Amino acid sequence: MLDLKLIRQEPDFIKEKLATRGVDPADIDSLLALDAKRRELIVKSETMKAQRNTVSDEISQLKRNKQDANDKITEMRQVSGEIKDIDAQLDTLKAQVHDAAAHLPNIPNDNVPVGLTEDGSVELRQWGEKPNMDFTPKAHYELGENLGILDFEAGAKVSGSRYLYYLGLGARLERAVYNFFLDENTKAGFKEVLPPYIVNDDSMYGTGQFPKFKEDVYQLRDEDMTLIPTAEVPLVNYYRDEVIPEEDLPVWFTALTPAFRSEAGSAGRDTRGLIRLHQFNKVEMVKFCKPENSWDELEALTKHAESLLQKLGLAYHVITLTTSDMSFTAAMTHDLEVWFPEQNTYREISSCSNTTDFQARRAHIQYRDDNGKLQYVHALNGSGLAVGRTVAAILENYQNADGSVTIPDVLVPYMGGVTKITK
């Protein structure tokens, strides 16, 4: 949520910055018009209430003096009726202002590349050697099916498209990957959390999924409950409506959870394999910090996610997303994209974002500064990492000419000593 006071004070700045995210300046004008009407009615209501209080005192005085107060009583009944009507209008306007503001995305940082599409993202760095294969590489799903460790057909039969079964060493590999991530994250100072997988609407609103993106999630019928699209939701909302003690900042959380996404806006994309599923595992990282530290925390978050890929020996690059390609809540996003040999391209495996005070305003997460004044924290999130996509990257990058897959050295202990998956 943006600061409404800032929108009032610097409307041209807000219009300019949000236009880079595809927001029509007329939406800002509409919001400000509603807000101006609301503030005007607040003044009118308060003035009339003050008048009513004054006249009520006069009525009491007249009654004490045995004088006629009927005219003033009639007048105040009319005033009270008008106040009731105004307050009803105010309730409606408050809801309209809130809804309009809730649909506005975060203000992009000045260093974010401007673009109304994903084209134009800026590469920050590359790492690692792309595998030099003297054979034609297979796609991860073909490898998995041939090795008998991924069964998409059974997943489709039981649940529908974009679901699967991991079998045998495939299931073991998935477990090895997320346990490795959790261990590395906790070594780096993140506190491991096992959060709820179903959250209420207030939680979805707090992290920015609601009200704009309801079509992208799975909701429980006739209930104010949603299957989480990412562990970011329960992790950020842990502190909803709370004041974090200043001495506790920064707070770093990590969690392994399933993620459930309807992918309503992704029809026809990545229909095969592990890249775009309706249910997948993800290890998430969330940070809360003071505003002055959040940009350093973003770089540290990104570097840590990179370290996981480096230890797995997977080539990748880091890009900064354009203004319109990053998430609704982000002020800046660094994507890590890992190399996929069969597709001969990089694919996203982690997004690390600084949401500044955007989520904290929506979820009312604050701390007291040195002067005892309440301030909003800055919240950051990043995948550390998407587990299924990591498995896919391992299968493709560590495949051998005979169709077997070598296990990265750091995962061998998690695989019970298994060094290669074969038929």
CA–CA separation, 400 and 423 (whole Å) = 12
Strands 198-200 and 225-227: antiparallel
276 catalytically annotated:
yes
Q: Which of 261, 347, 361, 362 is catalytic?
A: 261
DSSP 69-96: -HHHHHHHHHHHHHHHHHHHHHHHHHHH
Catalytic, 389? Answer: yes
**Residues 132, 135, 138: CA angle, nearest 5 degrees:** 95
Q: Does the annotation mark 192 as catalytic?
A: no
351 is in an annotated binding site: yes
User: Taking a C-beta distance cutoff of 8 angstroms, is the pair 423, 147 a contact?
Assistant: yes
Q: Is 223 annotated as a binding residue?
A: no
**Integer Cα distance of 304 and 377 in angstroms:** 21
How distant is the alpha carbon of residue 351 from its chain centre? 10
Residue 345, marked binder: no
Tokens of 26: 């007329």
Residue 20 DSSP code:
T
Closest of 225, 253, 228, 224 to residue 238, by C-alpha: 253
Catalytic residue among 294, 324, 351, 353: 351
Q: Is 230 annotated as a binding residue?
A: yes
Of 38, 52, 175, 276, the catalytic one is 276
Which residue in the list 56, 145, 348, 404 is annotated as catalytic? 348
349 is in an annotated binding site: yes
Is there a catalytic annotation at residue 38?
no
Residue 178, judged by CB atoms within 10 A of its CB (0-12, 13-18, 19+), counts as buried
263 is in an annotated binding site: yes
- Joined tokens for residue 109: 């940082």
Q: Is 10 annotated as a binding residue?
A: no
Cβ proximity of 238 and 193 under 8 Å: yes
- Does residue 294 carry a catalytic annotation? no
Distance of CA 217 to the CA centre of its chain: 13
Query: Cα(98)–Cα(329) distance, rounded to whole angstroms?
Result: 16
d(CA 242, CA 420): 49
383 is known to lie in a ligand binding site: yes
Q: Is 350 annotated as a binding residue?
A: yes
- Maximal CA-CA distance, the chain: 108
Strand segments (E) across 193-250: 198-200, 218-219, 225-227, 242-243
The residues that are catalytic are: 261, 276, 348, 351, 389
Binding-site positions for L-serine: 230-232, 284, 383
Residue ranges for the known binding site for ATP are: 261-263, 348-351
**Residues making up the binding site:** 230-232, 261-263, 284, 348-351, 383
